[in-house]
C-alpha cells in the first residue's frame, strides 16, 4: 500500500516541518516541567535542555560545564561564518544543513586527509591528534567540536597553552573510558578559553551536535 500525503506535508523544504516542530516544542515543555528549578541562566538552559532532549538523560544537567561568556562567544563566531572543526564525520553528518546555511558555516573534519594518516603512522599518535596539530592557526576564531577523540582534545588544550592558539569556542565532549574524563578536566581548567564540556565519561558526537545546534538557534534568535 502506498501512503499519500497532502502536498503541504510532503514537502522537504528547509527547517522542521510543522508536525516535527510541535513534537520538539512538546518535548522541551516536558523537560522544563520535569526539571523544575535548575539554576541555569536562560541562555545556558537552552544549551542544556537541547542536550537533555537529544539524550533523554537529565543527568547531563549535573555534568555539563559552560565557561563564562562561552555561549555568547560561540554564537557570535557562528554569526560571523566561523568554520566548525570536528573530530568525526558523525558530527558533520548530524549538523542540519539548513541551520548551517543561516550563516554559511563550513564544517571541516581534518582527520579525513590522507596526509594525516601518514603523519600519525610515522609519529605514533592518533590520526585525529595529528590532524588537529596540523591545523595550527587555522583554528583561531573557529568553533572546535570534539565528540569522540580525547587525544585530539588533549592536543587542542596543549596548543592553546603552548602555542597561543585561540579558538572562539571549544566544545569538548568526548565519550569513553581512556583519557576522555582527563581531557575534559584539562579543558575545563584552562583559563581565558571559552569552553563547553561534560565532566565524566559521558559525551559523544551527538552531544557535540546538540550543543552546536543550540548555539546556531541562539545566534539566529539574537538572544
Q: What is the mean pLDDT of the chain?
A: 89
- Which comes out higher in pLDDT, residue 12 or 151? 151
Q: Which of 91-95, 104-108, 115-119, 215-219 has the lowest mean pLDDT?
A: 115-119
169 falls within a domain: yes
Tell me: the pLDDT tens digits for 55-88?
999 999 999 999 999 999 999 999 999 999 999 9
Residue 6 has pLDDT above 60, yes or no: no
Q: Which domain holds residue 90?
A: 63-221
Q: What is the CATH number of the domain that holds 196?
A: 3.40.50.10230
169 φ/ψ sector (left φ>0, alpha ψ -120 to 50, else beta): beta
26 falls within a domain: no
31 falls within a domain: no
54 falls within a domain: no
**Is the Cβ–Cβ distance between 142 and 77 less than 8 Å?**
yes
Report pLDDT for 223.
63
Cα-Cα-Cα-Cα torsion 57, 24, 84, 118, nearest 10 degrees, comes to 60
Cell of 114: 590522507
46 falls within a domain: no
**Is the Cβ–Cβ distance between 95 and 215 less than 8 Å?**
no
Tell me: the pLDDT tens digits for 85-106?
999 999 999 999 999 999 999 9
1 falls within a domain: no
35 falls within a domain: no
Q: What is the mean pLDDT of residues 182-207?
A: 96
Domain count of the fold of the chain: 1
Say how far residue 71 (Cα) sits from the centre of its chain: 11
Annotated catalytic residue, options 38, 53, 154, 213? 53
Tell me: the pLDDT tens digits for 139-183?
999 999 999 999 999 999 999 999 999 999 999 999 999 999 999
The answer to whether residue 213 is catalytic is no
Which burial class, exposed, middle or buried, applies to 90 when counting CB atoms under 10 A from its CB (0-12, 13-18, 19+)? middle
Whole-structure pTM value: 0.88
19 falls within a domain: no
CA distance 90 to 138: 21
**Is the Cβ–Cβ distance between 137 and 164 less than 8 Å?**
no
Amino acid at each position: 500500500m502506498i501512503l499519500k500525503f497532502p502536498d503541504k506535508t510532503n514537502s522537504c523544504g528547509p527547517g522542521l516541518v510543522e508536525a516535527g516542530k510541535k513534537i520538539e516544542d512538546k518535548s522541551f515543555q516536558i523537560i522544563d516541567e520535569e526539571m523544575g528549578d535548575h539554576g541555569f541562566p536562560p541562555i545556558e538552559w537552552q544549551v542544556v535542555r537541547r542536550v537533555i532532549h537529544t539524550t533523554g538523560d537529565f543527568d547531563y544537567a549535573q555534568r555539563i560545564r559552560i565557561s563564562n561568556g562561552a555561549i555568547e562567544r560561540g554564537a557570535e563566531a557562528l554569526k560571523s561564518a566561523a568554520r566548525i572543526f570536528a573530530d568525526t564525520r558523525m558530527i558533520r553528518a548530524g549538523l542540519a544543513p539548513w541551520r548551517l546555511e543561516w550563516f554559511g558555516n563550513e564544517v571541516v573534519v581534518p582527520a579525513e586527509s590522507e596526509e594525516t594518516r601518514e603523519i600519525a603512522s610515522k609519529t605514533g599518535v592518533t590520526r585525529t591528534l595529528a590532524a588537529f596539530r596540523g591545523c595550527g592557526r587555522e583554528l583561531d576564531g573557529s568553533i572546535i567540536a570534539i565528540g569522540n577523540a580525547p587525544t585530539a582534545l588533549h592536543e587542542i588544550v596543549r596548543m592553546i597553552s603552548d602555542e597561543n592558539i585561540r579558538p572562539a569556542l571549544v566544545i569538548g565532549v568526548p565519550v569513553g573510558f581512556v583519557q576522555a574524563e582527563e581531557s575534559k578536566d584539562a579543558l575545563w581548567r584552562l583559563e581565558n578559553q571559552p569552553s563547553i564540556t561534560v565532566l565524566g565519561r559521558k559525551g559523544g558526537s551527538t552531544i557535540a551536535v546538540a550543543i552546536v545546534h543550540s548555539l546556531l538557534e541562539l545566534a539566529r534568535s539574537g538572544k
